[in-house]
Chains A and B, each alone.
Chain A
């Protein structure tokens, strides 16, 4: 297992842990009906996960991969971009069909949509890296 594969695994696991922690935290805040805390908690979770994704991206970009690994990473990043666009598009349509054309949504929907799309993109990117390596090794 090379460096790129290891990092893809770490990112994948971290993403799942972050989602689990965020979901548990928000569920707790909603259950305790702590409105003020809900806003603060949501902001902290969004900031933390966004910062984590940015950090992981920088660490990975700085590593000295060879051209084949960069090619794998490029393909995975493209798929991640598609996943981001798809997630934002789907969320927009869901919001449209749920509240209707003349309705309005909470201001929290936008960061939640952005965060969800970011996580989906990161998940797809990490999974795409691992799948490409698995397919390559299966052919050997």
Chain B
């Protein structure tokens, strides 16, 4: 269920947002607290919709919450 190269700042963001509890985040993201625990520990890679819901709970973007590093640099000539 975990995905190599995927890291996240969920724990950091929770504390930056008034020490939000795992249960409060779970309620906002409509999952169980165990799922938040698994995501924070890097044991579970969330789906895209769940990643967006978590990012919205922190009023930020998905890329600010999750980071993916597969060791491959972006292709040359990529405009974005």
Contact = CB atoms under 8 A, between A and B. Distances in A.
Interface of A: 2, 66-69, 71-72, 136, 139-140
Interface residues of B, number: 14
B7 interface: no
Contacts of A139: 41, 43
**Interface class of chain A by DSSP:** helix
A72 B44 CA distance: 11
B46 A2 contact: no
28 contacts: A2-B32, A2-B34, A66-B30, A66-B31, A66-B32, A66-B35, A67-B31, A67-B35, A67-B46, A67-B47, A67-B50, A68-B31, A68-B32, A68-B34, A68-B35, A68-B38, A68-B44, A68-B46, A69-B35, A71-B1, A71-B44, A72-B1, A136-B43, A139-B41, A139-B43, A140-B37, A140-B41, A140-B43
B1 A68 contact: yes
Interface string B29-65: 0111011011001011011001000000000000000
Given A68-B31, A68-B34, A69-B32, 8 more contacts: A67-B46, A67-B50, A68-B38, A68-B44, A71-B1, A71-B44, A140-B37, A140-B43
5 closest A-B pairs by CB: A66-B31, A68-B35, A68-B44, A66-B32, A66-B35
Nearest to B37: A140
